[in-house]
Structure 1
Amino acid sequence: MGKIVALTYLSLDGVMENPTWTGPYFNAEHAAYAHDRMFSADALLLGRVTYEGMAAAWPHMEESEGQGAVRMNTLPKHVVSTTLQEAEWNATVVCGDLATEIPKIKDQYTGDILIYASGDLQNSLIELGLIDELKLWIHPVIVGKGKHLFPEGIPSTSWTLAGTTTFSTGAVVLDLRPANQEAQE
Structure 2
Amino acid sequence: MRNIIAAIYLTLDGVMEHPAWTGPYFNDELGAAQHRLLFESDALLLGRVTYQGFAQAWPNVPDTDGFANRMNSLPKYVTSRTLTTPEWNAQLLPGPDATEAVRQLKQQPSGNLLLYGSGALADTLRQHDLIDEYQLMVFPVVLGQGQRFFREGSAPTDLQLVGVQTTSTGVSILTYRRVGS
- Give the TM interval when normalised to the shorter protein: over 0.9
Structure 1, residues 43-65: CA drift from partner, whole Å, max 9, x if none?
Answer: 0000000000100111111x355
Q: Secondary structure at 1:125's aligned position in 2?
A: helix
Partner of 1:101: 101
Q: Secondary structure at 1:153's aligned position in 2?
A: coil
Partner of 1:91: 90
Asked if the contact 2:63/2:69 (under 8 Å) is kept, the reply is no
RMSD: 1.4
Moved over 6 A (4+): none
Q: Which moved more, 1:43-52 or 1:100-109?
A: 100-109
Partner of 2:19: 19
Q: Secondary structure at 2:146's aligned position in 1?
A: coil
The answer as to 2:119 corresponding to 1:119 is: yes
What TM-score comes out, normalization by structure 2 length?
Answer: 0.93
Q: Could you tell me how far apart the structure 1 residues matched to 2:47 and 2:89 are?
A: 15
Asked if the contact 2:159/2:177 (under 8 Å) is kept, the reply is yes
Partner of 2:158: 158
Q: Could you list the runs of 5+ residues in structure 2 that have no partner in the other structure? A: none
- The alpha carbon displacement at 1:86 in A equals 2.2
Partner of 2:31: 31
Asked if the contact 1:42/1:109 (under 8 Å) is kept, the reply is no
- The alpha carbon displacement at 1:81 in A equals 1.0
What TM-score comes out, normalization by structure 1 length?
Answer: 0.92
Partner of 1:47: 47
What is the correspondence of 1:140-151 to structure 2 with a 5 Å cutoff?
A: 140-151=140-151
Give the share of equivalent positions with the same residue, in percent. Answer: 47
What is the correspondence of 1:66-81 to structure 2 with a 5 Å cutoff?
A: 67-81=66-80
Q: Could you tell me how far apart the structure 2 residues matched to 1:36 and 1:70 are?
A: 14
Q: Secondary structure at 1:180's aligned position in 2?
A: coil
- The alpha carbon displacement at 1:130 in A equals 0.4
Q: Could you tell me how far apart the structure 1 residues matched to 2:105 and 2:173 are?
A: 26
Q: Could you tell me how far apart the structure 2 residues matched to 1:47 and 1:55 are?
A: 12
Report the number of matched residues.
180
The amino acid across from 1:163 in the alignment is: G
Q: Could you list the runs of 5+ residues in structure 1 that have no partner in the other structure? A: none
Q: Secondary structure at 1:146's aligned position in 2?
A: coil
Partner of 1:56: 56
The answer as to 2:139 corresponding to 1:132 is: no
Q: Could you tell me how far apart the structure 2 residues matched to 1:99 and 1:80 are?
A: 9
Q: Could you tell me how far apart the structure 2 residues matched to 1:65 and 1:49 are?
A: 26
